[in-house]
Structure 1
Amino acid sequence: MRFRMHLLGLALVTGLPLLALAIGLAWWIAASARTAALHELVRTTEALQADIDRELQITAAALGVLAGSPTIDDALAGAPGGTSAEPFRQRARALVEARPSVLHSVMLFDAAGRRHLNTLAASPLAAGRPGSPHAPDAELQPIEASALVPAALQAWSRHVSPLLAEPVAGEPVISVAILVERAGTQTGLLVANLRPESLGMALSSQTLPAGWIATLIDHRHLIIARSQQQETFLARSAIDWIAAFQRSGQATATIRAVSRTGVPTYAALRRLPFGNWTLTLSVPRAAIDGPLQRSLLIATASGVLAVSLAALLALALGARLGEEIEALGADAATVARDQPPPQRPPARVREVARVRAALAEAGAALRARAAAKREAEEHLVLLLREVDHRAKNALAVALSLIRLAPRNVTPAAFAAAAEGRITAMARAHALLARGAWTGAELQALAESELPAHMGQVRLAGPPARLSAEAVQPVAMLLHELATNAVKHGALSVPGGEVHIGWEFLPADQALRLSWTECGGPALAGPPGRRSFGIRLVTQLAERQLGARLALDWAPAGLRAILTLPAARAAPDGTARPIRTATGQPVAVAPQPAWTDPGGLPPRVLVAEDEALLALELETGLRELGCEVVGPARSLAEARRLAESEPRLAAAVLDVNLGGGELVFPVADALAARGIPYLLATGYGSAGPLEGRDAGAVAVLRKPYHRQALAVALARALPGHAARAEG
């Protein structure tokens, strides 16, 4: 059969049984909807009960804190109205002022029932006005300790009273009372008086639908709070069917009732576990039954109409849809083969046209996603290879520096030279990592390699970016020139300066980098022999960078000119504006040794999980005249030492102690004792510091020079005297 005949048969087969079933299901749907509405009524009542209980718990918790105050003992020990109660009165008033819309007043009674304090009265013995002008249906009793103490003893944790009259202001309140105990003996009773309107606001917090009314009634059948018309109904007697529920002893009930105005209602009633209160939530029956009846009529009429229209539309649309649906299937198969669907005439049905367009877009998106995934995977593979290559290459270079370094020097000089060169490599590695291994700015590289001498170094030049292959060699070259200047050149005296400038040559866009020293000791000419540093600089420039290096040993100071080919450097349009480093020359910090005011060496806590790094740090601190505590290898050990060790003067903490344990709890413990600390990390950027470096005296980036440790330690030990080493 044709598609339209199948469509007609489907409409009749499905429509006629559904039409016959619709009438029976309509009644079941109406009953289920009514049940769901009544369940919602009950759930809302439970939520309102939770709001009321939370409000009372907050008040009881505040009273518990107040009852633990030492000032309450002074208030109870003195005579009523005495000055000894004034400190506690101030704390009680502060509690009332903190929640003025909830708390009316705070009262304090001793074990004999005498009132020692009322935050509303200057004298705790003030009589006030009995009764309440807001109680049209019953006279409210004033608050008396003789009634509250037995109830509080029975409830033990807290007692919630019915609606009472505040003895000074005469206003209706609800009292929350707790016992004041010391060493298992009752010494007094602390009472907080809540405003009834605060409970009314709690009943309104659920944003009840129109016509829904929540009411709170005490055990004397008086209305405490109402979600609507709170002032009108306060202290009025509850309607008869609520009073009957209270007398029945039931815990919960859902009933049909009639409101005060004669409106039929559904009502959910719950007996609250405190104060023998009752919470009711009523809703007009028309609000629940009316929509259900209308829905029943609409559903029945819609069913009849739907079956009729389905039969007519099946014949009218079947022929038009058949052809286009078949075309959609073909287009979907084309998209599944990762091919674009063929061009077709415009669809006659809008939905079909949209599906066809969606298929085309989905096919294009799938193809683009597949291409992007392949590209991302290729990029990731290349990046992993590059990182692996860089790491292995850095280790190989470090090994070569150790092997090729001259052996005819003292061990201390050998260690200092190796440390400086490897540190220079590490700084260059950090710059490359921040730039995703695509290169680094020349100025940033120069600043990172000369941090201790920036007061004697001037930088000038246009924005320039070095290629990834050129960053490490240029860093090593600047380090060797700086080391030579510190030993023999301009940086060896306070008045010397180094001028570093660069420019792009117009002919071939090569980068010419110049190093010029002035103000240093006069040079007698080139050194008599080519040192390892000079040979290393030459090899880096000519062999690794493919650049030209010219060294001029002029009497005024060394001048070095490095010309990098265009492939190694390019103008950087995104670089920050060039700054010229200015300021006073920075003298090399001495190697101090400290003593505390008592003449003993300061005790410094060390937390480091790497054994070799811990040993090196311990050795350096002892050479600086410090007594080392630790080293601690784990977070637990470091925390124990930080909290228990006496006479700690400072601490050096590795940020990551291994196994994902961050050292910040130890830093917090030291800060609580007022002990300064340094943070050491191997991360090139902020890493896991997460802003916690603000409390540290300094952050040492691994590998760090021992001179940097000495400078940072000098900042951490300002109160200790430095003594000269003999």
Structure 2
Amino acid sequence: MRRLTLRTRLICLVIAGVFPLLAFNLVSIYDRYRDDRARASQQALDLARGLALSVEGEIRARIAVLQVLALSRSLVDGDLTTFRAQAEAVVAQQAPGSNILLLRENGQQVLNTALAPGAPLPVRQYLENQRQVFATGRPSVSDIYFGIVLRRPLVAVEVPVRDADGRVVLVLALNPTLDAFEPLVRRQLPDPGWTIAIFDRAGIVVASVPSSERYIGSPVAPDMRKAWLSGNTEVIAESSSPEGARTLTSFSRVPELGWGVAVAVPVADLARPARRAAVTSLFVGLALLTLGLAYTHWIARGVLQPIRDLLRRTAAPDDNDPGPAPAGLGLPEADALALAHLDEARRRRAATAALVDSERRLRLVVAELDHRAKNALATVQSLAFQTARSDAGADPARFTEAFTSRLQALARAHDLLTAFSWEGAALGAVVTAGLAPWLAADEAAAEPRLVVSCPCDLPIPRTAPGQAQALAMALHELAVNAVKHGALSVPGGRVEVRCCAAPAGLSGEIEWTETGGPLVCGPPTRRGFGTRLLERALLHDLGPGARVTLDFAASGLRAVIRFSPRETKHEL
């Protein structure tokens, strides 16, 4: 397998740092876009509901005017001249541009304020609404139809006219101008890009803002009309405008009258900010990637050139005179190695055997240093990835706090192993390192809440470096969970940590017991970072025969970690 060069590894490191952040930012932008769509849909639906009530109020007001006019004494007495004057006054004062009709059951007009007195009165062709009034004796509002007298689309608001015996003998109708609904809609239009339409029971547009006259009499979008005719009271769906643009449309049915109000929000207006933010994020990400790659090239060149000089000096034959001390190579480490090589070259000329032994030791140190550096980077990368996958990943502040605390726990384990020269550590020291922040806080308390019982003379071998790091991280996660959700999250809660060993020191055990905390309702439904660490990663790091038991008892969490200490040696 081909090993990656230093330059390639640095490039991969830059890419691995920029791409996840860029992807996270794009996902966040998409989530904000979805939230904006949901808010706009709900706002449109609320507006449609309010307009439906306003339309109903407008129609009810017209019905009330007609009902009062239908009780006119002149109409009861058959004085149509006086009644016409009263009707024209009503039109002039309350419904300018409209006309009032008086109709028989067969559609014959008896009076029409739109025609001059004495002009021939035609027979009305649209009789559906009129028949309903005669049949039910109640006011009714028609769907949109074409008026043969006014030669334009109309709607009719009709009320019954009764004789002295209470029978319906005539129908009094008002044909309001359709643009009378436009001010009602325009007053509540929240954004110029939005479209509001009022349509009848058949899904035909009665009024629309903007472009009122253009769409009057035309059906609403087919997909919305299908949902409307199915009888739904309220619907939120994506549809197409007459121009073909995609819209997010909400409609609400007018109570009792059966008309509807639709509010359409252009999807492009909602997507434009998200698209702009995504493009900006991509440009910024590419700029950062370019700068990172340029900086990587500069670093690689500064590191590789001294290394090449060192290689050239190292390749010189031993029988050549090494000469004076070399000038600076541009890298302190490389300068130190060059001086060491110079001294070694001089000693090699005197003792070849000492040179061979020194080279072997140097290679061992470099290999171990490389191994430990890669292990540290892999561990930090795993911590970052797992923390981002957990709930803390959705909040940068929580991610920073959680990731920092885990890095500090890893650093304490590293300091502990350094103190023991990376030859393993006593179990009690590992427990103390993992719980150091909480043990330090307990020192100032009147009564300790975290009690550790780990005798230093336990008859078990020292834990290997990998085991010590894994145990310290596991204890850290248990303590964080206790502070957030367990015994340490409430006053009076207590945690006891006990260490013990099996006979002959063949295995070690750590027992974690929480008491006095909140009631535990069983195992968590969602596995967070800590649970995955305890149930999976810890078993792998502790080695064969390891067991981790988590008991989510009602009185508090009890965790038992059993393992067999490995031989304390450098883990190459």
> Which structure shows the higher helix fraction?
2
Q: Same fold (TM over 0.5)?
A: no
**TM-score, normalised by the number of residues in structure 1:** 0.33
